[in-house]
A and B are shown apart, each in its own frame.
Chain A
């Protein structure tokens, strides 16, 4: 729930409740005041009748006007009294209620009970109008305040949303630190400056780490070069025994693995540092087809049957990265197919699918793209191939997925 909505809900509920209670109280108060007014009028009528009776010793002629009736009758009561009550219209024709005063008065030697009633029609009409008007006013006020609040809140919170949008776009390592706007509101400025400091610090740490990886990898190249060159020199010795040759061979292998590992780490950190940001749109079908001959020999050597179903498609990415991507995917498929297995390439509808016969069961998709996770039992790989693939796909704004179906490892590049 948005802050707005939550705020409005509470606000609206409270306001409505208050207005409702006030309206009810207002209605009764108004009614009470008006009845009092009518009662005053009726009392004046009573006094007039009393004066008339005192003067002429007979009741006045009952005159009926539209909203006032006077009637009297003899009564057994022998004392003076009066009381008010509200009655329904005596002659059923009018719908309005009447306010009636009943009082006793001795006239000559008998007591008469007078009843004077006044129509409440006007009063009720007025009351209704007043309630209606105040009700409408309340609704109007509510609507207007709702709109104003909405607009005002949105305006006030604008810097917050701007900041949020800035952070959303921010990616660690992209070196694009969002610029936060100055706001007249202190809280937002505080938020922005805190975020800014936080991001700067994170970015700095990240850069340091990346630089460290890159420098460490570079620094390793020279010692590796020395070891390799010394081995190259060593094997020239004609006096070398077979055992020594074998030792040199093993050292060569270790150096080769280390050099490759180092190269891959360097490549990863370069990709992460977005050093391959230049992209082109190119014919992916042609690209794949041009890549295949280089692998033909390896495929033949392992008796792999390679089939393809390629439809023309264009892809937008860095060509150097695309090259590494394909190489790694091909290498992966080639390595993990058993001898005599098959590889199938399919390019269709912005999807490049590479599937190969599996020698085992499904791989763990959660671990697959992680660094140094080794799929098979082979210790020869460093387990960085697929993380490089993942990294390339990520910086290129594409997606790669893996699934296992009918004894096939299937990698799908969505672009």
Chain B
């Protein structure tokens, strides 16, 4: 699956590329408006990561161009501006999601995969990971046909892990994903620990593998590799 990263900040674009690349995405970069315009008119992408402020033009114009050409790409806006108005404007112009800088790459990956899932599996709303099967509409999880009784947060956590499989996710990223950044409680890592402990217990009880691994107390990794 091809992902286009339209971001003028080279260091950031490279990080995104490196992170997504190992998620089995093929990534391309466009550091300015004209390159981006060229790429979107020549190729089709599964998802476009779009920065609003670009040298040579506004990302919103690119977005309008895409919509005018009835391109099916999912678009995720990444912007330094986090006002509600700009979010609404971006989403109204046809973006699928809006992420404010500074973000965690794991959050970005989760959003990208959600967009791609929505765009490319129309009608099919389930996600498989080995013996785990997630129903994205019902928000339920089965292990070999056995329904798991997960809380809303545990389900969110599992989906977040699967979207970032084989990656180390920092505790801060998990906290921000579960609680949003409005609550200012993201430093309360005890809660994350509780949720992860419960999720892991439930998965093991249902006969799933032990996917969740702690990494030096710094974060967690969801992996089926030993």
At the interface, yes or no: B82 with Cβ under 8 Å from chain A? yes
Answer yes or no: A15 CB below 8 A from chain B CBs.
Answer: no
B102 contacts which of A225, A240, A298 (Cβ < 8 Å)? A225
Contacts of A245 in B (CB 8 A): 215-218
In the bound complex, do residue B183 and residue A226 qualify as a contact, i.e. CB atoms below 8 Å apart?
Answer: no
| Residue B204 interfacial (CB < 8 Å) | no
Contact residue among A233, A320, A331 (Cβ-Cβ distance under 8 Å from B18)? A233
A347 to B125, CA, bound (A): 44
Whole-angstrom distance between the alpha carbons of A232 and B23 in the complex? Answer: 14
Instruction: Decide if A248 is an interface residue (CB 8 Å cutoff).
Output: yes
The CA-CA distance from A330 to B182 in the complex, in Å, is 11
Known: A221-B80, A242-B216, A248-B218. A228 touches B168 (CB 8 A): no
| Contact indicator per residue, chain A 224-258, by CB within 8 Å of chain B (1) or not (0) | 11111111110110001010011011001101100
Interchain nearest-CB distance for A329 vs B (Å): 12
Least CB distance from B157 to A in Å reads 13
A383 adjacent to chain B (CB < 8 Å): no
Q: What bracket does the count of chain B residues touching chain A fall in? A: 35 or more
- B9-17, B29-37, B69-77, B111-119 - the one binding chain A: B9-17
Please judge, given known A-B contacts A245-B215, A327-B182, whether A225 and B12 are in contact too, CB under 8 Å: yes
Once the chains are docked, how many angstroms separate the CA of A301 from the CA of B215? 24
- Check B102 against A231 for contact (C-beta < 8 Å): no
Contact B191 A229 (CB under 8 A): no
A263 at the binding interface (Cβ < 8 Å): yes
B173 interfacial by beta-carbon distance below 8 Å: yes
Q: Check: B146 CB closer than 8 A to any chain A CB.
A: no
Q: How far is the CB of B150 from chain A (nearest CB, A)?
A: 15
Could you tell me the distance in whole angstroms from the C-beta of B174 to the nearest C-beta in chain A?
A: 12
Q: State the Cβ distance, B128 to closest chain A Cβ, in Å.
A: 24
Does A270 have its Cβ within 8 Å of any Cβ on chain B?
A: yes
CB distance from A210 to the nearest CB of B (A): 14
| Contact residues in A for B215 (Cβ distance below 8 Å) | 235, 245
Partner of B182, one of A229, A248, A270, A324: A324
Question: Is B101's beta carbon under 8 Å from chain A?
Answer: yes
Shortest C-beta distance, B226 to chain A (Å), equals 13
The A-contacting residues of B in range 74-124, CB under 8 angstroms, are 78, 80-85, 100-106
Residues on A with beta carbons closer than 8 Å to the beta carbon of B102: 221-222, 224-225, 227-229, 255, 259
Contact of A297 among B22, B191, B217 (CB under 8 A): B191
Tell me if A327 and B184 are in contact (CB < 8 A).
yes
Q: Provide the bound-state CA to CA distance between A324 and B163, in Å.
A: 30
* B101 and A222 form a contact (CB under 8 A): yes
B170-A235 in contact (CB<8A): yes
Note all chain B residues with C-beta closer than 8 A to A323. 182
A348 at the B interface (CB under 8 A):
no
Pick from A218, A226, A259, A297: contact of B15, CB under 8 Å: A226
C-alpha gap A215/B194 in the complex (Å): 39
Residues of B within 8 A of A252 (CB): 170, 172, 218
- How far apart are the CA atoms of A51 and B173 in the complex, in Å? 138
In the complex, the answer to whether A260 meets B184 with C-beta atoms within 8 Å is: yes
B181 at the interface (CB under 8 A from A): yes
Do residues B101 and A266 form an inter-chain contact, with CB atoms below 8 A? no
* B82 near A298: Cβ-Cβ < 8 Å: no
Flag if B19 contacts A232 (CB, 8 Å): yes
Please indicate the chain B residues that have their CB under 8 angstroms from the CB of A227 in the complex.
102
Interface size class of A (residues with CB under 8 A): 35 or more
In the assembly, what is the distance between CA of A284 and CA of B186, in Å?
Answer: 26
Does B187 sit within 8 A of A, measured CB to CB?
Answer: yes
Contacts of B18 on A, CB cut-off 8 Å?
233
Whether A294 sits at the interface, judged by CB under 8 Å, is yes
B19 near A270 with CB under 8 A, answer no
Closest to B178 in A: A297
User: Does B191 lie within 8 Å of A256, measured CB to CB?
Assistant: no
Q: Give the nearest-CB partner of A332 in chain B.
A: B184
Interface string of B125-140 (1 = CB under 8 A from A): 0000000000000000
Tell me, yes or no, whether B190 is within 8 Å of chain A by CB. yes
Tell me whether A225 and B101 are in contact in the complex, defined as CB-CB below 8 angstroms, given that A218-B80, A235-B168, A270-B83 are known contacts: yes
Contacts of A334 in B (CB 8 A): 185
Cβ-defined partner of B168 (8 Å) among A236, A242, A263, A324: A236
Let me know if B198 is at the binding interface, CB within 8 A. Answer: no
B197 CB to closest chain A CB, in angstroms? 13
Q: Kindly state the separation between the CA atoms of A16 and B186 in the bound complex, as whole angstroms.
A: 80
Instruction: Give the distance to chain A from B111, nearest Cβ to Cβ, in Å.
Output: 14
Which A residues are in CB contact (< 8 Å) with B15?
226, 229-230, 232-233
Closest to B15 in A: A229
Partner of B218, one of A246, A327, A385: A246
Contacts of A232 in B (CB 8 A): 15, 19, 104-106, 170, 173
Q: Are A256 and B186 in contact (CB under 8 A)?
A: yes
Interface check A377, CB cutoff 8 A: no
CB distance from A278 to the nearest CB of B (A): 10
Is A298 in contact with B185, judged by CB distance below 8 angstroms?
yes
Q: Can you list 24 contacts pairing A with B, beta carbon distance less than 8 Å?
A: A218-B81, A221-B101, A222-B12, A225-B12, A226-B11, A228-B105, A230-B11, A232-B15, A235-B219, A236-B22, A236-B168, A242-B216, A245-B216, A249-B170, A249-B218, A252-B218, A255-B102, A259-B102, A260-B184, A297-B191, A298-B191, A301-B194, A320-B84, A323-B182
Nearest 8 A-B pairs (CB), nearest first? A229-B15, A221-B80, A225-B102, A225-B101, A224-B102, A245-B216, A232-B105, A221-B101
Interface residues of A (CB under 8 A from B): 218-219, 221-222, 224-233, 235-236, 240, 242, 245-246, 248-249, 252-253, 255-256, 259-260, 263, 266, 270, 275, 294-295, 297-298, 301, 320, 323-324, 327-328, 331, 334, 380, 385
Further 13 A-B residue pairs, CB within 8 A, beyond A222-B12, A226-B12, A255-B102: A218-B80, A221-B100, A225-B101, A226-B15, A229-B105, A232-B170, A236-B168, A246-B218, A249-B218, A256-B187, A275-B83, A301-B194, A331-B184
